Amino acid sequence: MAGSRRLLGYLLLLITLAFLATTAEASVFGSILKKLPSFKQEYPEGQVIATQAVQNVAVKKVKREGKRVAVIGAGAAGASTAYHLRRFLGNSTVSSVPVNITVFDKHTYIGGRSTTVNAYNDATIPIELGASIFVEVNSILYGASQELGLSFSGSSASTRRIQGESNDVLGVFNGHEMLFTYPEGRWWSLMKLVYRYGATAPWRTRGLTQSVVGKFLSLYKAPIFPFKSLTAAIEEVGLKETVSLTGEQLLESAGISGAFATELIQASTRVNYGQNLGLIHGVETMVCMATDGAVSIAGGNWKIFQGMLNKSRADVKLRTPVTSIMRRDGEWAVTYATDGEKSQTEVFDEVVIAAPMQYAGLDIAPGLESKPDTIPYVTLHVTLFASPRKLDPLYFGLPEDAAVPQSVLTTLNATEQQDPLFTRGEGRNAAGSVGFFSVSTLRSVERGNRTEYIYKVFSPDHYGDDKVRKILGVAPGSEEEVTTWSYRHTWKSYPYEYPRVTFEEVKLASGVWYTAGIESFISTMETSALMGMNVAKLVIGEWEEAKEVEDEKKRVRLEMVAKAEAEAKRIMEERMAAKKAAREAAEAAAAATLLEVKIEEVAEL
C-alpha cells in the first residue's frame, strides 16, 4: 500500500518535471530537484529525464528576450504603426517587454505619397507633390501635429488666397465654359450658390456628409476599435450600403441631383480622386465634401510622419527596399538591401506591410492565408511649374479682363455627362474633353524684381509644355520662355474607388499585418494612419493575450509544483513515521526480550 502511494507521488513529480521542461522555470525546477534527494537515488531513470529537462530549459533561456517588429513603408500608415505601437505599449500589461521597431522604406525620404519638392530647388519654398490637405475630423493627424508642435501652413481657403489677386477661390470648368465660381468668405457667395443650385441640394449634401463622417468616426472607438476585419467594421458602423453604391446612386437616393451633383460634387471627386460620380462609391464621394477645417503642415505634411517615427524610437532604414519575408520557426525572416548593397536578413516577430501590396514587390513564403487582390489604381500626373504669367482667362472661357479662380476644378461637359464611357471612365475617359482634373495657383513668389506664380496641374496624362503654354495664354509660335521652373511626377495615387462590400484583411497570416486594405474604402493620410493605429493595437492585444495565457500556465505550473512538493513531503513524513514506528517496535521487542530475560533470570534466582 505504502509502496504504490509512493509511486503515485513520484509520477506526479515526473509530470510536473515534464511541464517545467517546456518552460523557462529552471530555478523552480532546480529547487525541486534539490529538495528531493531520495528521488534521485531511488529513480535513476527519473534523473535522466530531469537532466534533459534542465538542458531544454537552458536552450529556451538563450532565446532572446523581447519583441521585434518590422514595418515596411515609412508613409502615413507605417509611421503611425510605429508611433502607436510605442504609445500603446506604455499603457499595456506587456510594457516591460523590450520592443525594437525597424521601419524600412525604399525611398530616400519619409512620407511616401506625402512628400514635398522645393520650387526652384529652394528649400524655403516646399510644395506638396502628393497629399496636400487634411481636415479637422482627422484626429490622428491633428493630434500628432499638436503633440509634435508643428504649425499649419494656413492652406484653408481663406488664408490660401493670394494677396490682392483673384477674389474667386474656386471655379468649375468643363472645357469650354466656367460653370461656376465660388467667391471666398462673403455673404453673397452663399447667395450665389443658392441662386444657381437652390437651397435644398447644398443643405442635403451637408446633412449626408455629416452622417457619413459621424459613422466613419465610430471606427476610432470601442467597441469597433480595434477591428480585425475592416469588412465587418464597415458593416457595424453602418456604412456598408453607402460604400456599395456609386456616388451618383447615393446622391440620387438622398434627393441630390442635377447641376449641384455634376458640377460641384463631381468637381470635388475629380480633384481628389480623378474619378466621376458614376464610378466612385458613396463613402469616398462624401469624404470629398467633408472639407471643414482643411489645413496642411508648414514645410510639408511629411513632417507629421517624421515626427511620429522620432517618437516611436524606431530604427528607420531609408533607401532600403525589403525584397522578401519568409516564415522560419514561427518567426519571419526579412531580407532587405540598403542602397543596392549586399542583402541582409533579420528575424522579426511581427511584419507590418504598410504599402499597397501590388507595388511592394515582396516575395512572401509560404503563401499568405489571405492574399490581397491587385486593385486598379489611378495613374496621376502631377505637373508643377512657375511662371510670371497668370492663367489666361480666355482659355477658361472667361472675359479677357477677368481673373481666373485660384483653384480651377473641372467636370464633364453636358454630352459626356450622359455617357457612361465618361461618367464611369478611368484615366483619360474620366477626365473627358477638358483633359485635366484641376489646375491651382498655389502661391506667389517675389523673384528678382517681379512676381512669379507657382501652379499645380493634376491630369491623367503627361501635361506637356505645349499645354502649359496654352493655359498661360502664350500665342502659338511664340518663342517666349514662360516657365522658370517645373517638376513632373507620376503617381499610382489611390485606387479607383469602385463600389464594393468586402475589403482586404488586416491580418494576412500569423505575424503579418496589412494596412492598405483601407484604401479601397477611403484613401487619405488619416485613414492610412488609422489603419496603422489599428494594427498597432491588434499586435499589442495579441501580445497581451499571449502573456495572459503564459501567466495562467505559470500559475497552474506553480500550483502543481506546490502540490508535488506537499505530496513528497507527506510521503517522506509517512516513511519517517513508519521507520520510527519500526524502530520503536524493534526497541519494544528488544525491551520485551530483555524483560523476558530479566524475568527468567529473576525466576532462576
Ligand X SMILES: *[C@@H]1O[C@H](CO)[C@@H](O)[C@H](O)[C@H]1NC(C)=O
Ligand Y SMILES: Cc1cc2nc3c(=O)[nH]c(=O)nc-3n(C[C@H](O)[C@H](O)[C@H](O)COP(=O)(O)OP(=O)(O)OC[C@H]3O[C@@H](n4cnc5c(N)ncnc54)[C@H](O)[C@@H]3O)c2cc1C
Interacting residues toward ligand Y by CB under 6 A = 72-78, 104-107, 112-114, 130-134, 321-322, 354-355, 360-362, 380, 382, 491, 493-494, 515-516, 523-526, 528
Which residue type sits at 566?
Answer: A
For cell 455629416, what's the residue?
210
Q: Which residues contact 383 (CB under 8 A, 6 or more apart)?
A: 456, 457, 459, 463, 468, 486, 487, 488
For cell 502543481, what's the residue?
560
Contact 547, 239 (CB under 8 A): no
182/302 with CB nearer ligand X: 302
- The alpha carbons of the chain give a radius of gyration, in whole angstroms, of 36
Shortest spacing between CB 320 and ligand X, in angstroms: 17
43/491 with CB nearer ligand Y: 491
Shortest spacing between CB 429 and ligand X, in angstroms: 9
361/376 with CB nearer ligand Y: 361
Shortest spacing between CB 458 and ligand Y, in angstroms: 7
Shortest spacing between CB 115 and ligand Y, in angstroms: 8
Q: Does 148 bind ligand X (CB under 6 A)?
A: yes
280/540 with CB nearer ligand X: 540
Q: Which residues contact 216 (CB under 8 A, 6 or more apart)?
A: 237, 239, 283, 287, 522
H helix and E strand count, the chain = 22, 19
221 conformational bin, left if phi > 0, alpha if psi -120 to 50, beta if neither: beta
36/71 with CB nearer ligand X: 71
State the distance between the two ends of the chain, measured CA to CA, in whole angstroms: 48
Q: What is the distance between the alpha carbons of residues 357 and 349, in angstroms, rounded to a whole number?
A: 20
Q: Does 68 bind ligand X (CB under 6 A)?
A: yes
* Nearest residue to 499 via CA among 238, 230, 247, 216: 247
Number of residues engaging ligand X in binding (CB under 6 A): 22
Q: Does 96 bind ligand X (CB under 6 A)?
A: no
Shortest spacing between CB 438 and ligand Y, in angstroms: 10
Q: Does 433 bind ligand X (CB under 6 A)?
A: yes
Shortest spacing between CB 305 and ligand Y, in angstroms: 8
Out of ligand X, ligand Y, none, what residue 525 binds, judged by CB under 5 to 8 A for its kind, is ligand Y
25/505 with CB nearer ligand Y: 505
Q: Does 459 bind ligand X (CB under 6 A)?
A: no
Shortest spacing between CB 554 and ligand X, in angstroms: 21
CB-facing half-sphere around the CA of 221: CA atoms within 13 A: 7
100/211 with CB nearer ligand X: 100
Asked if the bond preceding 420 is cis, omega within 30° of 0, the reply is no
Taking the CA atoms of 205, 206, 212 and 216 in sequence, report the sign of the dihedral they define.
Answer: positive
Out of ligand Y, ligand X, none, what residue 91 binds, judged by CB under 5 to 8 A for its kind, is ligand X
Task: Enumerate binding residues for ligand X (CB under 6 A).
Answer: 64, 66, 68, 87-88, 91, 98, 100, 148, 175-176, 303, 306-307, 310, 413, 415-416, 432-433, 448-449
